[in-house]
Amino acid sequence: MELQLIQNKIFEIRGQRIMLDFDLAEMYETDTRTLKQAVRRNLDRFPDDFMFQLTETEIDNMVSQSVIPSKSKLGGATPFAFTEQGVAMLSSVLNSTKAIQVNIAVIRAFVVLRQHLADYKDLKENIAALEKEMNLNFKDINQALHYLLNKDKLKTEQDQRKQIGFNK
């Protein structure tokens, strides 16, 4: 299973990175109903920091952000959101070769995502330190560069416009 495809199915809700039940069911090649049923039979394995149900507001936000195409995709059910630990626990609940393979791939995707976020944070801190040390503002420099790059384009567009008004 490709890491990028899995990473595209990881979202942030309530300050936690999660995967939704229907995305996991698709990867496990099972029905969402079957996955939820297995989880409900083993609820003691899924504390709140492993899995939670989305609220109506969270569902609406995900639909508006095109994470979920529409509420009708859910079939009236409230999706389960699984954290990295919850996904790991699914392998013990869905005891199949496919479940184990998918879980390994998903855990790797979470690890890569965590590393990317750490690298981004380090880069952001380094830029802030540089700005402070050199008394520069990269945002201002960026705006000036964009202006210089686009000013000739804007002038060309203005020159090519059809003239309106009185001719003398």
Q: Which of 98, 105, 100 is nearest to 89 (CA)?
A: 100
Phi, psi of 20 (to 5 degrees): -90, 150
Give me the DSSP letters along 25-78: HHHHTS-HHHHHHHHHHTGGG--TTTEEEPPHHHHHHHHHTTSSS-GGGGTTPP
Residue with structure tokens 């990881």?
10
Hey, which residues does 106 pair with through a beta bridge?
none
Q: According to the model, what pLDDT value does residue 46 have?
A: 92
Say which residue, 155 or 56, is predicted with more confidence. Answer: 56
Q: According to the model, what pLDDT value does residue 105 have?
A: 80
pLDDT tens digits for range 50-60: 999 988 888 88
Q: According to the model, what pLDDT value does residue 138 have?
A: 66
Q: According to the model, what pLDDT value does residue 81 have?
A: 92
Instruction: Give the architecture-level CATH label for domain 3-121.
Output: Roll (3.10)
pLDDT tens digits for range 100-120: 777 788 788 878 877 877 777
Strand order in the sheet with 51-53: 11-13, 16-20, 80-82, 51-53
Residue 22's Cα: distance from chain center in Å? 15
Say which residue, 77 or 139, is predicted with more confidence. Answer: 77
Percent of the chain with pLDDT over 70: 87
Rounded Cα distance between 147 and 61, Å, is 36
Indicate if the pLDDT at residue 95 is higher than 80: no
Q: According to the model, what pLDDT value does residue 43 have?
A: 92
Indicate if the pLDDT at residue 137 is higher than 70: no
Question: In the chain, where are the structural domains located?
Answer: 3-121, 124-160
Indicate if the pLDDT at residue 127 is higher than 60: yes
Q: According to the model, what pLDDT value does residue 1 have?
A: 56
Residue 66's Cα: distance from chain center in Å? 11
Cα separations in angstroms, 19 against 10, 29, 54, 120, 134: 5, 15, 11, 22, 42
- CA torsion, points 82, 87, 88, 91, in degrees to nearest 10? 130
Say which residue, 26 or 65, is predicted with more confidence. Answer: 26
Whole-number mean pLDDT of the chain? 79
For residue 42, the one-letter residue type is N
